[in-house]
Amino acid sequence: MWFLVFRVVKIITREVELPHVPYKKLKNIIDLNADEYFPVNLAEYCLDFTITEIIETEEGKKIKVNIVAALKKTDSNVHRIST
C-alpha cells in the first residue's frame, strides 16, 4: 500500500508602522493588536516579529515591524494512491 502525504504550512506576514517604544512594550502592543493584523483564530498561531526599520516622521520616531503568524499545528491530508 502506498500513501502520498501533503503538508500545508500556513504563514502570514504583515508589515506595520508603530511608535518607537522599548522592545518589551512593542511585544505587548503587537500581542494586544494581533487580531487587527491577522483575520484568523490566533490561538492556532505563533507570533513573532522583527524590527525592519527605524524612521523619523513629523510625529517623531516610528518603527517598521515585520510580524509573522505561523500555524502551530498542520493537518496532513493522506490519500491512497496504490494498493
Q: Domain holding 19: CATH number?
A: 3.30.1490
**This model's pTM is above 0.75:** no
All residues at 6 or more sequence positions from 68 whose CB lies less than 8 Å from its CB, including other chains: 11, 12, 13, 47, 48, 49, 50
In a domain, 7, yes or no: no
pLDDT (tens digit, 9 = 90+) per residue, 30-82? Answer: 999 999 999 889 999 999 999 999 999 898 999 999 999 998 875 554 444 44
Full domain range(s) for residue 44: 15-74
Residue in the structure block whose three cell numbers are 516622521: 57
At residue 62, φ and ψ (nearest 5 deg) are -135, 165
In a domain, 2, yes or no: no
In a domain, 61, yes or no: yes
- The answer to whether 81 and 5 have CB atoms below 8 angstroms apart is no
Q: pLDDT band at 9, cuts 50/70/90? A: low
Structural domain tally of the chain?
Answer: 1
pLDDT for 28 beyond 60: yes
In a domain, 8, yes or no: no
Order of strands, edge to edge, in the sheet holding 11-19?
11-19, 60-71, 45-57
pLDDT (tens digit, 9 = 90+) per residue, 64-76? Answer: 999 999 988 755 5
